[in-house]
């Protein structure tokens, strides 16, 4: 199935989906966002490579902050860095490089996101992108990732699941796990609290309404006092 331009979802949402479907729905359905130490570090690391520069050194041409899209996967986004390596025939072979805070993870979410970038490049440039690399902030090392059939299938399935989740418009219930402790939405999601199944936007709206009612009653009470005072003064 091919998606339309209006249908494209952020490529970065794949990471949210693979980390936790509830987190993904909170961010992309309910539009809830909260920055914590982990997201702040990631943002700063990305800002350093987000300058849209181009340079060529020997047989490697480098572009930063490259716009990507795939109508097949229904995704769009930006690659941190695309290197183009000149091969023996003089052709430039695209090679995506993604910068990540921290160290390599046990799960392969980063590989899936990088593979999605490769699939976008293949569709946009009509070429084959066999590998790319992840660069981790902690060990400052590159990890080469091969885009094999298994990873490609996993990436396509993740993109389909992402579209299904967003178009359902529903937020899955919370389930507390160890990973929740590093989740930027822990305080809003409240996975340990009974009732975490509730829609967070509605919960926040209710809290704000309750606060407004309290504020209103306080204002009315103080208006009442001051008007009683002015009657007393005039008589």
Q: Applying CB under 6 A, which of residues 10, 102, 104, 191 lies at the interface with ligand SF4?
A: 191
CB of 67 to ligand SF4, least distance (A): 29
> For residues 14 and 21, is the Cβ–Cβ distance under 8 A?
no
CB of 182 to ligand SF4, least distance (A): 8
Assess 100 for contact with ligand SF4 (CB under 6 A): no
- CA distance to 50, 77, 187, per residue, from 192 (Å): 37, 33, 10
Of 9, 2, 26, nearest in space to 159 by CA: 9
Assess 179 for contact with ligand SF4 (CB under 6 A): yes
List strand residue ranges (DSSP E) for the chain, in order. 9-10, 54-57, 60-70, 75-86, 92-100, 131-136, 141-146
Assess 68 for contact with ligand SF4 (CB under 6 A): no
Q: Maximum CA pair distance of the chain?
A: 100
CB of 188 to ligand SF4, least distance (A): 8
CA dihedral 79, 119, 154, 72 (to 10 degrees): 110
Assess 174 for contact with ligand SF4 (CB under 6 A): yes
Residues of span 10-29 touching ligand SF4 by CB under 6 A: 20, 22-23, 26
Q: Applying CB under 6 A, which of residues 2, 185, 222, 226 lies at the interface with ligand SF4?
A: 185
> For residues 37 and 63, is the Cβ–Cβ distance under 8 A?
no
Place of tokens 């970065």: 12
Q: What x-and-dash track marks residues 24-63 binding ligand SF4 by CB under 6 A?
A: --x-------------------------------------
Assess 189 for contact with ligand SF4 (CB under 6 A): yes
Applying CB under 6 A, the residues found at the interface with ligand SF4 are: 20, 22-23, 26, 174-175, 179-180, 183, 185-186, 189, 191
């Amino acid at each position: 199935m091919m998606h339309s331009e209006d249908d494209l979802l952020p490529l970065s949402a794949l990471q949210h989906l693979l980390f936790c479907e509830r987190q993904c729905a909170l961010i992309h359905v309910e539009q809830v966002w909260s920055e914590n130490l982990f997201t702040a570090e990631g943002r700063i690391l990305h800002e350093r490579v987000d300058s849209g520069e181009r340079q060529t050194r020997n047989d490697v041409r480098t572009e930063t902050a490259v716009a990507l899209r795939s109508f097949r996967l229904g995704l769009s986004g930006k690659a941190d860095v695309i290197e183009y390596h000149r091969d023996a025939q003089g052709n430039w072979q695209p090679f995506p490089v993604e910068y990540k805070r921290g160290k390599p993870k046990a799960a392969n979410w980063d590989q899936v996101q990088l593979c999605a970038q490769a699939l976008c490049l293949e569709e946009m440039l009509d070429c084959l992108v066999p590998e790319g690399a992840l660069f981790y902030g902690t060990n400052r090392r590159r990890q080469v990732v091969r885009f094999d059939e298994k990873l490609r299938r996993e990436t396509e399935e993740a993109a389909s699941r992402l579209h299904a989740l967003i178009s359902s418009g529903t937020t899955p219930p919370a389930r507390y796990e160890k990973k929740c402790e590093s989740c930027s939405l822990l305080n809003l999601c409240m996975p340990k609290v009974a009732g975490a199944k509730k829609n967070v936007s509605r919960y926040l709206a209710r809290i704000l309404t309750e606060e407004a009612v309290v504020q209103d009653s306080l204002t009315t009470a103080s208006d009442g006092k001051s008007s009683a005072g002015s009657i007393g003064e005039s008589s």
